[in-house]
Amino acid sequence: MMMLSILIWVIMAIIWISMSLFNQKTVEKYNEILQRYMQMNEASQISRQALTSLNKYRISPTLDSMNQYVEDNSRLLRTRSDMNWLRNMNNSMLLDNLQNMLESQSQAMDLAVRFQKDNDDENAAKEFDEATNMSKYISETTLTLISGEQNTYDAFYRKIIKRSEDIKKMGFWTLALVSLLLLLFSYRFVNSMTQPLLKLTQSARELSRGNFKNPIEIKNNDEMTFLAITLDSMRMKIGNLIDDIQSKAQLEYDLHKHKLMLKESELKSLQSQINPHFLFNTLNMLSKEAYLAGADKTSELISSVAGMLRYNLRKLDSKVSLKDELEVLEEYLTIQKARFGERLRVVREIDEEALSIELPILILQPLAENAFIYAIEPAEEGGTLTIRVKNEETCVIVQVQDTGQGMDQEQLNRLLSNTENSAYKGHSTGIGIWNVIHRLQLFYGIEEIMDVESQLGMGTCMTLKLPRRQMK
């Protein structure tokens, strides 16, 4: 067994040393190629960066922009000097051209700066254009050099591929040899493990049948003894756990029974309350009676209340069109108009093309309720409520604006507080502004969905940005 292990170790060591030497040489050569590519590409990048710095200085001739240009121009000249090591017999002429162009760009940029300082805008622009053209030529020449480098090192890449194929073959035969040796080793090892494993398997089968009473005993001087002790410890712990689960299950059953009794009492309590659908039908009947009696205004108000009730009975996770939201908002405004009379002025600026977008139910009414509670109702002279819907390319903008006293930052923070216990809730829906924002964020899958602008004495404007992309 010891000889087998030593033999495998020697084989693996030889393979590792051979591959390490090959990889080291390959990495060194690859690093050299990479450094050449990076040096050539850096010339093009620094050329563009220096041109950008010059342009910033021309637009905003400050000390900082001038210092940045001087630094980038110095880097450009250093790059020109550092490129000599890239020279070989294949790229000597192109490299000379590239170095000359780098120097020409630097000179043109310096002239542009000098003319800029002398307020000679015409010559400054001319020199800047010259530097720009030089930068373009530098980029083209760099690409040509890199293409030439690829052709030069094509043979190197083919050699690497050939060596890789040889390593694969060597690895295959080595794997076959090691596998054969391991099979011999495994046969002897498994044979010595068979009997203890059979005992462990039998014990595990007994445990799977729910028999946790029989102890597991294996007397060996290897890891199997540890496994047997561990499995026996698990047997005892599982047995104790089952006893605990059974006792807890009985307690949970008793608790569940108690909860069912409590739910039953709550159900009976709810059954004694008025059915909202019955109330809705009753309001419709009263509306018709008022209309037949000639009380048109009363009939209109009752119809508006019935429409709001029917709309509010829908689940909060329903989705509706913006048109539906505006229609139920009109019902709400009809009721408020009857209440406030001339104190309430409503301005509507609606883009009809935006009304098909979908959104969660009960979004606009809570915003209007907030305006009535904190802007229009407290003011003796009332106020103006403006409803805007604008259709844009990527989204629909919805604004609810009032002319109230506005809010300070502390009031805004309380308004947008993510707690349903906030005092800022609608008087008819019971829905706060945070609830509206949270449901919109979940519906559209984005965070930036609502913006609130408010100034003391100037009123408040709530803006919704409803995206047109597919909702999550």
* Backbone φ and ψ of 389, nearest 5°: -135, 115
Find the angle CA(46)-CA(51)-CA(52) to the nearest 5 degrees: 95
- pLDDT value at position 266? 44
Instruction: Kindly list the distances between the CA atom of residue 351 and the CA atoms of 286, 390, 396, 401, in Å, as whole numbers in the listed order.
Output: 35, 6, 10, 16
Four-residue CA torsion sign, 406, 408, 411, 417 = positive
Helix 433-444 to helix 364-371 angle, to the nearest 10 degrees?
160
Write out the DSSP string of 220-233.
-SSHHHHHHHHHHH
Write out the DSSP string of 70-96.
HHHHHHHHHHHHHGGGG--TTTHHHHH
* Cα dihedral 222, 225, 227, 232 in deg (nearest 10): 180
- pLDDT value at position 155? 64
- pLDDT value at position 89? 74
Taking the chain (472 residues) in runs of 10, the rounded mean pLDDT of each run is: 67 73 67 71 84 88 88 86 77 82 87 88 88 88 78 67 75 76 72 68 73 70 69 77 80 65 42 45 56 63 70 72 92 86 92 93 90 88 93 94 90 75 57 87 90 91 87 44
In sequence order, the 6+-apart residues with CB closer than 8 A to the CB of 439 are 316, 360, 363
Task: Give CA–CA dist 41/32, Å, rounded.
Answer: 14
- pLDDT value at position 177? 77
- Residue 224 neighbours by CB distance under 10 Å: 18
Terminal-to-terminal C-alpha distance of the chain = 63
In 3-state terms the chain splits into helix, strand, coil percentages (rounded to 5) of 70, 10, 20
- pLDDT value at position 17? 78
- pLDDT value at position 15? 72
Task: Give CA–CA dist 26/32, Å, rounded.
Answer: 10
**Does residue 443 contact residue 360 with C-beta atoms inside 8 Å?**
yes
Minimal CA–CA distance to 346: which of 329, 321, 322? 329
Strand 395-402 and strand 383-391: the pairing is antiparallel
Minimal CA–CA distance to 346: which of 372, 384, 399? 384
Structure tokens at 11: 């084989």
Find the angle CA(37)-CA(39)-CA(44) to the nearest 5 degrees: 95
Three-class DSSP category at 141: helix
- Domains of the chain in start order, with CATH, are 2-152 (1.20.120.1730), 344-467 (3.30.565.10)
* Backbone φ and ψ of 324, nearest 5°: -60, -45
- pLDDT value at position 277? 47
Task: Give CA–CA dist 464/49, Å, rounded.
Answer: 41
In sequence order, the 6+-apart residues with CB closer than 8 A to the CB of 373 are 426, 427
Instruction: Kindly list the distances between the CA atom of residue 75 and the CA atoms of 82, 84, 107, 126, in Å, as whole numbers in the listed order.
Output: 10, 15, 14, 23
Task: Give CA–CA dist 404/375, Å, rounded.
Answer: 4
**Does residue 383 contact residue 408 with C-beta atoms inside 8 Å?**
no
Residue type at 24 in one-letter notation: Q
Task: Give CA–CA dist 207/198, Å, rounded.
Answer: 14
**Does residue 422 contact residue 414 with C-beta atoms inside 8 Å?**
yes
- Residue 409 neighbours by CB distance under 10 Å: 8
Minimal CA–CA distance to 385: which of 363, 404, 398? 404
Residue type at 447 in one-letter notation: E
Strand 358-360 and strand 344-350: the pairing is unpaired
In sequence order, the 6+-apart residues with CB closer than 8 A to the CB of 370 are 415, 424, 426, 433, 462
> From the DSSP assignment, how many helices (H) and strands (E) are in the chain?
12, 7
Four-residue CA torsion sign, 124, 125, 126, 132 = positive
